[in-house]
Amino acid sequence: MKLDDLVAVSGMSGVYKLAANRNNGLIIEDLDNGKRKFAPARKHQFTPLASIGIFTLDDSTELKIIFRTMVEQMETNPVPAASSSSKELHAYFRIILPDYDEDKVHTSDIKKVIKWFNFLNERTLIDMEDEPEETAEKSEEEE
């Protein structure tokens, strides 16, 4: 599943699939049991995971790239628990994303990334395919 289809909802733990959009909120689907429910915009804020980036010294890095790096390094660099100490979490993140901006990326941000990663990885929902390269290859073939 692509991160475009997934949203984080304030006030609700976990990640949800966007089922439908309404003018006063979203209909979201639980990834475990497939149940749908309405989340009103007056009560919740919605953040598509595809729009999330982690600040680096130069610009920012997309969440999907960070997730791919975490999957690739799982055997050599296991993901720490989200409840680990701040020092452990920042040390892990320095390995995953060496140029992340330590002034702008807080421990709570790292905890969220790790929680989301574990949630999606347990459900095998992390997409390892790289869409931009595929579209670049197709455009080169057309020329």
pLDDT confidence bin for 133, thresholds 50/70/90? very low
| Whether residue 141 has pLDDT greater than 50 | no
| Whether residue 82 has pLDDT greater than 70 | yes
Question: The tokens of 26 are what?
Answer: 């979203």
Average pLDDT over all residues of the chain: 88
- 4-25: average pLDDT: 93
CA angle 139, 142, 143 (to 5 degrees): 95
pLDDT confidence bin for 4, thresholds 50/70/90? confident
Going from N- to C-terminal start, the domains of the chain cover 3-48, 52-122
Q: Which CATH class is domain 52-122?
A: mainly alpha
90 phi/psi in degrees, rounded to 5: -70, -35
Check if the beta carbon of residue 27 is closer than 8 Å to that of residue 37. Answer: yes
| Whether residue 135 has pLDDT greater than 60 | no
pLDDT tens for 18-69 read 999 999 999 999 999 999 999 999 999 999 999 999 999 999 999 999 999 9
Q: Which CATH class is domain 3-48?
A: mainly beta
